[in-house]
Amino acid sequence: MANSEANIGAYLHDPDVQLMLRAQAGDNSAFTQLVELYQERLVAVLYHLLGNQEASEDLAQEVFLRIYRTRMRYQPTAKFSTWMFRIANNLASNWRRDNARHRQTTLVGNDSGARPQEQLVAEKSGLMPTRILDRAEMSKLVRDALDTLNERQKLAVLLNKFEQMSYEDIAVAMELSPQAVKSLLSRARENLRVLLEPYL
Amino acid sequence: MSDENNPLFASTERFVAYLDGELPEAATRELEQTLNSDPAARIEIEKLNRAWELLDLLPRPNLSEEFTSRTVTALRTGIQASDEVATPRKWIGRKTALVAGLLLIAAMGFEIGRRSARPAADTLLEDLLVIENLDLLTEIGDVQFLRELQTKGGFDGRPPHEPR
């Protein structure tokens, strides 16, 4: 209890926590401000996570709705962004699970055979790492390299890279220990280094 | 050998934590000394850093123009829905009023039906006293006259309003 109270005190200086507390007290304009502040960032992370613009917008909307619906139970025990990405992570996991079931059904009988991820990235580059790639091609290669990471690695990378979240905040958002996040990011970055080495 | 016990993984983990600014101060100083004296380590950490910077090339999604308005509309709908969920008594009250109204209409319908279907014999029984005394009542002809008669004790010789 004392710990929880200390945590609450620690996050009260977060301006977004203040907005959320105002929304909790019935100030809808404060909540609209939060939506405007976070909508692009949230959609960007979900887009890279799911690779689907429409789904990322739908999920982002659902994240905001859930936050609004549960605002009366909100306790500022973490940064607002950490809490928001935790909800986003849970919704994205559900979405992937539902879509994986759908893909499994549609891919039955399609024996494409698994190939190493590095081979896939190399093939997409036309096997010409020395050729000067334009920005669009390079962007596609980076996107493919990111897609080779498992979902947890990918989310940790996105939160660390684009949200500048600390290991501790990522741990809260992903419901892991900070040490697990450290290992996750280490593996992810090593994988990216190996995949993108020809273009470094 | 697990990742944690693998010296190569351990050094990558240290490099990554260093690049992320997550390495404790003492470990940071130690690693910087290693980097000064070990060119292979410097190359390794530089590659990790450059691969990380390539992520800046990832396409940024353009938020569709209607996203904000869709979100606000969804929120408004959500607000109304949550208000209804938050005040179930209101809904229960509406239901009760509706049921009571229907019951009242049914009762009125029943009474009207009952009255209109009442047999003529019932009406005759109700008016039996008047029918039996019709001749007398016709002779009196006036209610005011009867009242005056009662006031003067004309019915049984007792003073008016005296208990029997």
Q: Which residues of A115-144 are buried (b: 16+ CB within 10 A; e: fewer)?
A: eebeebbbeebeeeeeeebeeebbbbbbbb
Using DSSP, state whether A79 is helix, strand or coil: coil
Task: Provide, as residue numbers in chain B, all residues whose Cβ is less than 8 Å from the Cβ of A38.
Answer: none
Out of B13, B48, B71, closest to residue A193 by CB: B48
CA distances from B137 to A142, B71, B143, B152, B153 (A): 114, 84, 9, 19, 19
Average pLDDT, chain B: 75
pLDDT range class, residue A187, cuts 50, 70, 90:
very high
Q: What is the ipTM of this complex?
A: 0.80
Nearest residue to A37 (alpha-carbon basis) of A59, A56, A18 = A18
Q: What is the DSSP letter of B102?
A: H
The string of pLDDT tens digits covering residues B131-141 is: 777 777 777 66
What's the length of chain B? Answer: 164
**Per-residue pLDDT at B33 exceeds 80:** yes
pLDDT at B63: 83
The predicted pLDDT at position A128 comes to 53
Report the gap between the CA of A171 and the closest CA in chain B (Å): 13
Residues of A in contact with B20 (CB under 8 A): 160, 167, 185
- A30 and B CB contact within 8 Å: no
Q: Return the H-helix or E-strand segment holding A27.
A: none
Q: Which residues of B touch A183 (CB under 8 A)?
A: 3-4, 13
Sort out which chain A residues have CB atoms less than 8 A from B54's CB and list them.
Answer: 138, 142, 192, 196, 199-200
**pLDDT tens-digit series, residues A85-119:** 999 999 999 998 888 776 655 544 444 444 455 55
Q: Tokens 């979240």 appear where?
A: A165
